[in-house]
Chain A
Amino acid sequence: MDILLQVLVTGIATGGVYGLIALGFVLIYKATGILNLATGIFMTLGAFICLTLLTHLGLPFWFAFIATVGFAILLGIAVERLVLRQLIGEPIISVIMVTIGLSSVLHGLTHVIWSPDYRSFPEIFPPEPLNLGFAVVPSGLLWGFIFAAVSMIVFISIFKFTRTGVAMRATASDQQAAQSMGISVRWVFALSWSFGAAAAFIGGIVIGNISGISIYLGDIGLKVLAVIILGGLDSIGGAILGGLIIGMLENLAGLYLDPLVGGGVKGVAPFLILVLIIMIRPYGLFGKKIIERV
């Protein structure tokens, strides 16, 4: 029973981090309808940029963090301007493939700029774990969860309470109506990409802190697809809840199923869950029910 509680707690903490990365996907999908498969490499970039600012320029952490988010915003705007604007009107598969192509380009550039050596962050957070009595939360996960939670609260507040947020929600709901109300849809697209990139960057920093930085850090981004399917592709709340659920399920599967299969279940469990959800309820927990059934 003890182990079970511990596993659940760790699952929730991990799930929080997954939720943050899922937010990176959802923010972009909600506004522009594009599934950004370059989210993984965005995470890697975020971690590397933050690392370089911390170690080479010796900036204090908060400064580096804000600067990294600034980079994310620039990246988002750049991607929207240079790449996506050319693809308006093209079928969705083209845009998804472009994000894959972009991912390759950025991956190669990361390799060239930062070399493939494995790195780690200097100690940013206090290393003591949180002892809850019935469970222990390791420091990396704990602070990752805190960061994820704070970032999510910030994003959701922006969406609910600022004019920009309202403009983004309006565009996501109905582009024509939003345009006729005077909202610049192009700017909203650029902003959504910026926010999505920012969420991914922060996610990358968190993951980099937990398991180190390498050019393959972003591979976890693919696992997070299960989270967004569970939560609903265009639901922010769904991303968060989905993250927590997947985090817990994954750990439970690992604990109980690993001995049966010889290990490695944690890697494949999210994908099995994903297929299951698509079969039963493809729009997820909170997504819009506009799936056409054949």
Chain B
Amino acid sequence: MQRRLLIPVLAMVAVLIFTSQSIAEEVVKVGAVQPVTGRFAFAGVHINAGLQDALMIANEEGGINGKKIQYIMEDGTYNVDVAVAAFKRIMSRDNPVVMYGESTGMGKAVAPEIKERYKVLYSSTSFSSELANAADNPFVFVPGPTYSDMFGILLKYIAQEKPGANVAFFYSDTEFGKDPVPYGREMCKKLGLNLVAEEVAKVGGVDVASQVLDLKRKNAEFVIFQGFVTSPVDAVIKQARDYGLKAKFMGTHWGTHKMLLDKLGPLAEGYLGVMPYAFYYQDEVPIMAKIKAWNKTHHPEVEYRPTSYMQGFFTGQVFVECLKRADQMGQIDGETLVKALQSIKDVDVGGMMAPITVVNNKIPMGRVYKANVQKGIFEPISDWIHTD
């Protein structure tokens, strides 16, 4: 009888112990749920590195007025359930003041609870316009322009280049792909552009011939990609040339990166993209020297840091700025951090972007870049454009 009692009682006690809290320390905690495995891992790994590096560099430069930042990361696997579980685990166990999330889906799932219960400053990998609404949820912000803003920048550029042009959208069948499309349709009407086609394709699709042929049939002159990173953009552009479709191709943040140029080679001629952050090879940007030096010491095997890294890094910069301001305002907690966020005006971020101002919980700024086929990089052809 005694023996049989022991195991179940032990099990129950173990569960109860496991659920108790840990002791807090005197540091500033930043938690993150990163998609380091799963569908977004190719970017998640770099976003994580960028965010962490920005915070660690800030530590080296004195931390938050002397207090060190502690970075706590868990894997969200790009799956809303797992990500929310990780989010709650970090909140329960470590009680950070700032959190970073891995996807639009996760952001939408935790947003109401952040507002009502957790009250932490929150940002994420997502540029969805649904997450940039200061009136609705002041704790959540987008670290850059929204996809809609990016579409706006591209469409304005098209309207200047060729008024009344035929425009087509080519997007993926996901939230990521569809997010800015309704806004895009409206903007086309407003700018007097002719939206002739909307093509949908799967990421990594083998065959995009019917979509490309439709574009040819409808005589598209400008095609904007959304929701893809590399595949099937390269296949579409290549097949467009094969079938004789003469259109200019453009991409938003995730479609404007060096890997695409490497894959396309000479086909990238004329490709335009909108990018909110600086590129790793832009040595004229002051912060790049710091990033390169840091990576040399801490990640010597890395040769190039893609745009996802820059996004993570920039978010880290914004976090650090908010934390410093909140500390000066008196205390580092959610509500003060929100005030700190709203107070950011014309702050210098070392060239990662032009001096930033937070507008409606986003930073609606970007630059149009053109592909330089010989050098295999993007070069800016416009100055920093502010939308809104």
Interface of A toward B, CB cutoff 8 Å: 3, 6-7, 10, 14, 17, 111, 115-118, 120, 127, 129, 136, 138-141, 207, 210-212, 214-217, 219-220, 247, 250-251, 254-255, 258, 262-264, 266-267
Contacts and interface: CB of A to CB of B under 8 A. Distances in A.
Contact of A111 (B37, B203, B244): B37
Given A17-B206, A111-B37, A214-B204, 12 more contacts: A3-B213, A6-B213, A6-B243, A10-B210, A111-B41, A118-B231, A127-B238, A141-B209, A212-B234, A219-B204, A251-B207, A264-B173
A250 B210 CA distance: 10
A138 B208 CA distance: 11
B202 A266 contact: yes
B373 to A, nearest CB: 15
B156 interface: no
Interface residues of B, number: 37
Contact of A211 (B217, B231, B244, B262): B231
Nearest to A255: B210
A14 B229 contact: no
Nearest to B241: A129
Nearest to B204: A211
Contacts of B262: 120
Nearest to A262: B200
Given A10-B209, A216-B39, A251-B207, A140 B200 contact: no
A120 B207 CA distance: 16
B199 interface: yes
Q: Which 9 pairs from chain A and chain B are nearest by CB?
A: A263-B200, A116-B41, A10-B209, A254-B210, A129-B242, A264-B173, A255-B210, A116-B42, A212-B231
Interface string B204-224: 111101110110010000000
B235 interface: yes
Contact of B206 (A3, A7, A136, A210): A210
A118 B210 contact: no
A263 B234 contact: no
A120 B263 contact: yes
Nearest to B235: A211
23 contacts: A6-B243, A10-B210, A14-B209, A17-B206, A115-B42, A117-B42, A118-B42, A118-B230, A136-B242, A136-B244, A138-B209, A138-B239, A139-B238, A139-B242, A141-B207, A210-B206, A211-B204, A212-B204, A212-B234, A217-B204, A251-B207, A251-B209, A264-B173
Contacts of B243: 6, 136
Contacts of A3: 213-214, 217
Contacts of B232: 211
A247 B205 CA distance: 13
A142 to B, nearest CB: 10
Contacts of B57: none
A212 B230 contact: yes
B27 interface: no
Contact of A116 (B37, B199, B204): B37
B259 interface: yes
Interface of B: 37, 39, 41-42, 44-45, 173, 198-207, 209-211, 213-214, 217, 229-232, 234-235, 238-239, 242-244, 259, 262-263
A115 B231 contact: no
A103 B45 CA distance: 23
Nearest to A123: B265
A210 B234 CA distance: 9
Nearest to B266: A127
Nearest to B174: A264
Contacts of A217: 204
Nearest to A223: B206
Nearest to A215: B41
Contact of B211 (A219, A254, A262): A254
A49 to B, nearest CB: 19
Contacts of B45: 115-117
A212 B228 CA distance: 13
Contacts of B213: 3, 6-7, 255
Nearest to B39: A216
Contacts of B217: 3
A263 B173 contact: yes
Name which of A3, A111, A140, A210 has the most chain B CB atoms within 10 A of its CB.
A210
A118 B39 CA distance: 11
Contacts of B199: 258, 263
Given A118-B42, A212-B263, A216-B204, A251 B231 contact: no
Nearest to B234: A212
Most chain B C-beta atoms within 10 Å of own C-beta, residue among A17, A116, A207: A116
Contact of B205 (A17, A255, A266): A266
Nearest to A206: B206
B210 A214 contact: no
A215 B78 CA distance: 14
A253 to B, nearest CB: 9
A7 B42 contact: no
Nearest to A252: B210
Nearest to B238: A138
Nearest to B306: A117
Contact of B210 (A210, A251, A262): A251
Of the candidates B39, B42, B173, B210, the one having the most CB atoms from chain A within 10 angstroms of its own CB is B210
Nearest to B36: A116
B74 to A, nearest CB: 17
Contacts of B206: 14, 17, 207, 210-211, 220
B205 A211 contact: yes
A7 B204 contact: no
Contacts of B214: 3, 255, 258
Contacts of B230: 118, 120, 212
